[in-house]
Amino acid sequence: MSGPTPDTLDEAAIATARARLYGLLAATFDGEAETIAAALEGEAFATVAEAFPIDIATANLRGDGHDAESLKIGYDNLFVVPGRHYVPPFASAHAVDPSEEFESDSRYHTAGEAGELLGDPAADMAQLYAAAGFSPERGDDIPDHVAASFEFMRALCEREAALLEGGGREGSLDAVRDLQARTLSRLGWIDRFEDAVADRDTVEGVFAAIARLARTFTAWDAQEVVDADDRPSETTPA
């Protein structure tokens, strides 16, 4: 087995940087208020955003004016407590089409309509996790929760970096990158998620800015890094 070359070490550094951002996004959308506050105060969001060639405003990603308690309240209002500000943080709720096989006794769900809990997108993500032998710790046991999806991408990027640094086999590296591409191809729903967060987070705008970062970064990552274009995808209507 050959050792790493300068080119693979550069690729490993990129994979490590991607892993850090995905990890930060996973923690954010899992409600780790202390992590969010520290990232804002230390300008971690802005720094990682500026490290990649993506065009995004970073003004609301900086500053120490957000304490953990207020961020926790804001997170709960947006992503936990049903109400006029609530945005479901999982793909099934933003699906364009209803799942093929879905049964629910919830009074909030009408048979044959999209906007579900644990619909087809959840099953798709669960299959990807199983293929990688991965069990999400984030996302409240909801496979298509945005925090679980980003946690998975963090793990895959870390695995890619380790293979590159250790001169791993090409087949193993290709398998990891294929899982990344297949995962990113299923994250088109984040476009609609970000639109909804931007519409509801109109006071401080912190989570709207982070959702915008997530949308922009995942789109760039899918197109420029892992080439997800040829994989089956969840498409976003015009």
Tell me: the pLDDT tens digits for 38-76? 999 999 988 887 888 888 877 788 876 788 999 999 999
Question: Do 211 and 198 meet the contact criterion of CB atoms below 8 Å apart?
Answer: yes
Q: Of 110-114, 196-200, 232-236, give the range with the top mean pLDDT.
A: 196-200
Contacts of 27 (CB under 8 A, 6+ apart): 35, 36, 138, 147
Closest to 155 (Cα-Cα) out of 147, 92, 118, 86: 147
pTM (2 d.p.): 0.86
How far is Cα 39 from Cα 37, in angstroms, rounded to an integer? Answer: 5
Contact between residue 214 and residue 194 where contact means Cβ atoms under 8 Å apart: yes
pLDDT digits (tens, 9 = 90+) for 93-143: 888 765 555 454 444 344 444 457 788 899 999 999 999 999 999 999 999
3-class DSSP assignment, residue 101: coil
Q: Which two tokens stand for residue 127?
A: 């299959």
